[in-house]
Every structure is written in structure tokens, then in C-alpha cells.
Amino acid sequence: MRKPMIAGNWKMHKTPAEALEFVNELKETIGRFEQVSRVVIPPYVALAGISPALRGSGIKVGAQDVHHAESGAYTGSVSAPMLKGMVDYVIIGHSETREYLGVTDELVNKKTKISLANGLKPIVAIGEKLDQNEAGRTEEVCRTQLETALQNITPEQMENIVIAYEPVWAIGTGKTATPEQAQSIIGGVIRPLIINLYGHDIAGDTIILYGGSMKPDNCAALMRQADIDGGLIGGASLKVDDFTSLVRIAAETKHLA
């Protein structure tokens, strides 16, 4: 049985003080929902403040990216050893890092490996752009991104990886994939690919999230799909009420509440 997950990617929002205030409120509202993995993913500068504040709360912390090298002359970058002990998860391959920071499929693979080597759990994000979707290339794009991301990843390592399917055209646009569309890629392409690579047991335990304009009013329909285990949420994760609703809905739709 896969534990549902609600992960809030705050992107470039909230100062360290705002982040701390937010998680202190969140501890009150979602602290008791142990049936759901709850993850907040703030900007790097907020991590040192909120990480100790959340210790023991059951709410986990993630980083939004990580460099592919251990250390070196990489101005502006943050390495996996720096994040070790401070976060549990790290998003790798988010479409915004692919688009604005030049993150390629090969770099996604390197970042995944260095994260695992440092005890961080990668949330590997994949998804097609609008023109690729319209050209009927969704399956091919997702397959290539995922296969490259997982190159030389062992079965033991795969147990610590979360996958997020985020169609780029749905991110921040208010245009959510329909539950059937999301299920057809997550259940029809992504999980079968993991079955092929790692077998039924590991694929059956792999958490696969949907991301792209997920909100309290569309969350239940998405979460009712057999292969959608949760959400990677941008905009709606910035409000305590919405974050709390998403966690509650995740528990309810998976019959855990």
C-alpha cells in the first residue's frame, strides 16, 4: 500500500520569516494527518530556519534543486552534502529548472545519483510541453525523460525515489490535466516503465505524484485515480487553508480518514 503524499513546492515565494510562520501554522492544521506524507519545499534560504522547527512534527522538508557535483567552483549553487541532514527530499528536473537553468535529462540523472549518495530522496519531475502534447509526443517525451533520469539507478536506490508527472502546460496556468489524462500517463506509461525496469514489487511501491494546477477543488478527482499517489503543488501550497484541505482530501480519497 502506497502512502499518499502532498508536497508543496513554494518556488520563489516566502522569506525565511514568512516560511517559519507558515510552517508553525501548518503544524497545527496538518500535524495529525500521519496517513499522508506531508512535505514543504521552500527556497534554500528558508531551510535552516524551518528544518529544526519541523523536527518531530511528521512534516518533512525538501529542497527545490541540487547541483550535480559534490563541491567546486559553481557560484550560486547548492550541493547535496550541504543539504544532507537538513532536508529529506529534493526536487530534481522541475520543468522550470529545465527551462531557465539548462537542466538536461543527463543532469537530472547526475543530480539523482548524487542526492541518493547523500541520503536525500529525489522527487524526479518529468512532463511534456504544450507543443509536444499537441503533437502527440507526450508518451515519448515522458519515457525518454524518465529512462534517462533512472540510468544506472539500482533497485535499492529506486525505493527512495518519488516520481512527479507535471505536464508543463498545466503548471501555473489553471489548466489541470483531467484525471483520465493524468492517469493515462501515470498508470499507462510511467508505472509500466518502472515495472519494466525494476519489476512489479518496486513499481507497486513507487510513489507517483501529479503536478500542475492541483487545488482543493480538483484534488479528489485526481487522487481517486488508481495510480496517482498525491500531488506536487505550487500555487495552492502557499496558503495554509488550501494546503490543509489538500492533505485532508488526500487522506479521504484514499480511504485513510
96 is catalytic: no
Nearer Cβ to ligand 13P (64/198): 64
Among 9, 51, 115, 253, indicate the residue that binds ligand 13P (CB under 6 A).
9
Site string for ligand 13P, 68-107 (x = CB under 6 A): --------------------------x-------------
Contact between 235 and ligand 13P by CB under 6 A: the answer reads yes
The cell for 196 is: 519494466
Interactions with ligand 13P, residue window 166-205 (CB under 6 A): 166, 171-172
| Residue nearer to ligand 13P on the CB measure, 206 or 213 | 213
Considering only the stretches 20-28, 52-60, 99-107, 164-172, report the one whose residues sit in contact with ligand 13P under the rule CB under 6 A: 164-172
Note whether 61 and 85 are within 8 A (CB): no
| 25 contacts: CB under 8 Å, gap ≥ 6 | 240
When the beta carbons of 213 and 253 are compared against ligand 13P, the nearer one is: 213
Distance CA 9, CA 205 (A): 23
Asked if 250 and 220 count as a contact pair (C-beta separation under 8 A), the reply is no
| Sequence-distant (≥ 6) Cβ neighbours of residue 100 within 8 angstroms | none
Q: Is 166 a catalytic residue?
A: yes
Least distance in angstroms from the C-beta of 172 to ligand 13P = 4
- Least gap, CB of 14 to ligand 13P (angstroms): 14
What stretch of H or E contains 188?
none
In whole angstroms, give the CA distance from residue 8 to residue 231: 8
Residue 122 is a binding residue for ligand 13P (CB under 6 A): no
* CA atoms 207, 4, 245, 83: torsion sign: negative
CB of 16 to ligand 13P, least distance (A): 20
Check binding of 234 to ligand 13P (CB under 6 A): yes
According to the binding rule CB under 6 A, does residue 211 interact with ligand 13P?
A: yes
Q: What is the DSSP letter of 2?
A: P
Phi-psi label, residue 87: left if phi above 0, alpha if psi -120 to 50, beta otherwise: beta
Rounded CA-CA distance 40/33 in Å is: 14
Determine if 233 is a binding residue for ligand 13P (CB under 6 A): yes
Give the integer Cα–Cα distance in Å for 163 and 190: 9
Among 67, 68, 94, 128, the active-site one is 94
Q: Which residues are catalytic?
A: 94, 166
List contacts with ligand 13P (CB under 6 A). 9, 94, 166, 171-172, 211-214, 232-236
